[in-house]
Amino acid sequence: MYENDEVVLQSPLVPGLLLRSRASGVTSELLQELSDDLYQKIAAEMNLSETAFITRINPSDNFTTGSRFHLRWFTPTNEVNLCGHATLASAAVLFQYNKNVNPILVFETRSGDLAVTQKGEGYIMDFPLNAPTPEDPNEFRDIIKVAVGNHAVQEVYLSSNTKKLLIRLADSCDRSVLTSLKIDPVALQSSDKSGKVGGVIVTMKGSPDCQPGYDFYSRFFAPWNGIPEDPVTGSAHTVLGSYWSKKLGKKKMLAYQCSRRGGELELEVRDDGRINIAGQTVTVLQGTMKL
């Protein structure tokens, strides 16, 4: 909240977008809008992948009975259009700490209305599906070289809406290839000559014989937004969900993002061009920031 020159930050460490993730997001509830510059400075001070700011739509609204709120996300360097784990954190703060009475909360964002529903001990986020299109790997050969080196690449797709480049490793690669990638964020960002890329997804088909049977694995790198590697990325899975749903012929999928922290994601691709992403939260910090 924003009162008497203080911002109260309620900061859930968000596990996942399901089960065992340890991605983190800070959420701040504000009684009034701050300047964009101040939002950015707070996010830089937090120095997490994203910091979310919730504000009331109308002055008469409150965080306990209101069902619609404004929501914005900032990385340490800039504002972004979509963020999964910080949205999950925002809903958790409203439901758990403000005891919001509504079964569904709707956030008005730069990506349109995003609904979050309580389900048991977790939450389901309703996000737009961002279908990528196939691209000629030669156009992005410099990025591919920095991202995966000499490992075999099966195909390359691009989501122009989100500026996320999807690089699929060949099925002959095992999971250790993905987890062992060491990507230089400066080199990755400078390797993009097209201006079309704002983040790189490296993905591969899952191992159904293992338990649990993941449908696919991924990692996500976004130095363009001040994020060398994101631990668990809801927005990237709006692209991955669309891609792998078509490749696997499945609507419901279990995914794993292979960052150092790592995290499972449970996805459901819907026929209306949306995707459900489920998750739980764990709060590890609550404090006050004086401006």
223 cis-preceded (ω within 30 degrees of 0): no
The tokens for 103 are 């079964």
- Do 78 and 115 touch, CB atoms closer than 8 A? no
DSSP 68-104: EEEEEEE-SS-EES--HHHHHHHHHIIIIIS----SE
121 catalytic? Reply is no
Q: Which residues of 95-129 are buried (b: 16+ CB within 10 A; e: fewer)?
A: bebbebeeeebbbebebeebbbbbeeebbbbbbbb
* Catalytic position from the list 6, 33, 50, 135: 50
* CA dihedral for 231, 170, 265, 209, sign (positive or negative): negative
The widest CA-to-CA distance across the chain, in whole angstroms, is: 59
**DSSP H or E segment with residue 182:** none
Helices 84-92, 234-248: inter-axial angle, 10-degree rounding: 120
Name the H helices within the chain.
36-46, 84-92, 141-148, 175-179, 185-190, 234-248
Q: Give the residue numbers annotated as catalytic, written as ranges.
A: 50
